[in-house]
Every structure is written in C-alpha cells, then in structure tokens.
Amino acid sequence: MPSTLVHVALAGLIGTALLADRFDARSILVVLGATALVDLDTFLDLVVIGAHRSVLHNLVWPALAALALWWDLRREESYVRGRWGGRGVRVAWVSLFAVVTAGVLLDAFFNGVNLFWPLHDRFYDLSGKLLYSDQRGIVQTFVEFAQSSDGTRALSEATADGSVGETHYRTGVKPTADGSDAERLFPIAMTGERFVLLLSGYGVVGWRLFEERSD
C-alpha cells in the first residue's frame, strides 16, 4: 500500500500546481499536513479492527467540509476570507482536493477503503487497470460486476466486500488482526513507481521553496 510519505509526495505535486501564486512554505505545509492526517486512523485500528481506511479514509468528511466552506464563503462576512483572505480560501480548497485525491482515492485504488463510512459501512477496492485492446476495445477492471442468482447485476466481492470489525489492513502499527507477533513493516516506497513519485513530489516542493526564498 502507499506509505504516508507517498501520499504526502502526491499532495506536494497537487499543492504546488494548484496553489500557483499563493504558494509559500506555510500554504504548502497546510496541504501536506491535511493529507498526512488521513493516515492517523491507523492508530484507531489498535482499538477497532477496520478503523484504519474507514474513519478518515472516506469521502463523507471531505464532502461535509467542502459544504461548510462553500456555505461560509457565500456569507457576507465569511470567517475564512475574513481571517485568512484570498490565500486562505485557495489553501482550503486545495487542501480538500489533496485529501480526497492523494489521501483517500490513492488508497482506494490500492486495496480499497471504506469510501462512504459512516453512512455506509462497506470497503470498496478499486484496484484494477484501464486499457484499450484491438480485440476487446476499452477494458477496465477498477469496478467489476457479478450476476446474481436472480439475474441482476451487482458489484462483485472483488470491488465491494467487508466492513468495520472484519476487515484488517496490515500496517507497521498493527501487522495482524489478532495482535499476534509479526514483522512490523513501515513502508517508504514499495514499488519503483512510488519511489519516483517520492522523488518528484518532494523535489518539486523543495525547488519551489528554494525559488521563493531566492526571490
């Protein structure tokens, strides 16, 4: 699974691009920090199996935060705009986007997350591929369907299966569901592609910070 460092690296690329002229050390730190916070539910898994990739790895909290921000900005006396100005507004929206894409969806496409918790307790694994075949046309396996006994089509167990209390993802904090001894692995970059993402993300952020200080 992608490490927190990989999540933050992708958030760095997103933040650097979308903050544009609002980029500075404080702004990008907020974006990176917000994305890293998503992985804090790893520690909740010590108490409840399945809390990791559920409690903070979902689309419900970002959606509520986006609605709250949208409502605030429509007010004549917006708290966010009044406290932090236009820069604060840009940082807030970029942070939310980074949390959804670099925080939640990146894990959804790597072994799955509980996308709609707490409204709907089901893990969705969107791991798959998208390709074009000269024989089969466009092929995607991110979302797969199965035909039930009554002839209806529904999401297959490969896409939607498991709930809080029965689904465990191995982490360095809790490597096994029952707490038995096992090697504790704290991933940094488990594939070459993710290592390149690490180098790119931190390299871009570092370069922009260097440029800002030089100016």
- Are 124 and 112 in contact by the 8 Å Cβ rule? The answer is yes
The pLDDT value recorded for residue 195 is 97
Tell me: pLDDT of 149 over 90.
no
Give the Cα separation of 18 and 14 in Å (integer): 6
Strand, helix or coil at 160?
strand
Q: How confident is the model over 188-194, as a mean pLDDT?
A: 95
Q: What is the pLDDT of residues 5-51, one digit of tens each?
A: 999 999 999 999 999 999 999 999 999 999 999 999 999 999 999 99
Q: How confident is the model over 136-148, as a mean pLDDT?
A: 92
Q: What is the pLDDT of residues 64-107, one digit of tens each?
A: 999 999 999 999 999 999 999 999 999 999 999 999 999 999 99
Q: How many helices (H) and strands (E) in the chain?
A: 7, 4
Q: How confident is the model over 121-150, as a mean pLDDT?
A: 93
Q: Compute the residue count for the chain.
A: 215
pTM for the complete prediction? 0.93
Question: Cis before residue 175, ω within 30 degrees of 0?
Answer: no
Question: Domain locations in the chain?
Answer: 4-116+168-214
Q: What is the DSSP string of 7-67?
A: HHHHHHHHHHHHHGGG--HHHHHHHHHHHHHGGGHHHHTTTSTT-TTTSSSSSHHHHHHHH
Stretch among 64-73, 128-137, 179-188 having the lowest mean pLDDT? 179-188
- Residue owning tokens 């998208």: 130
Q: What is the pLDDT of residues 22-35, one digit of tens each?
A: 999 999 999 999 99
Average pLDDT, the chain: 95
The pLDDT value recorded for residue 151 is 74
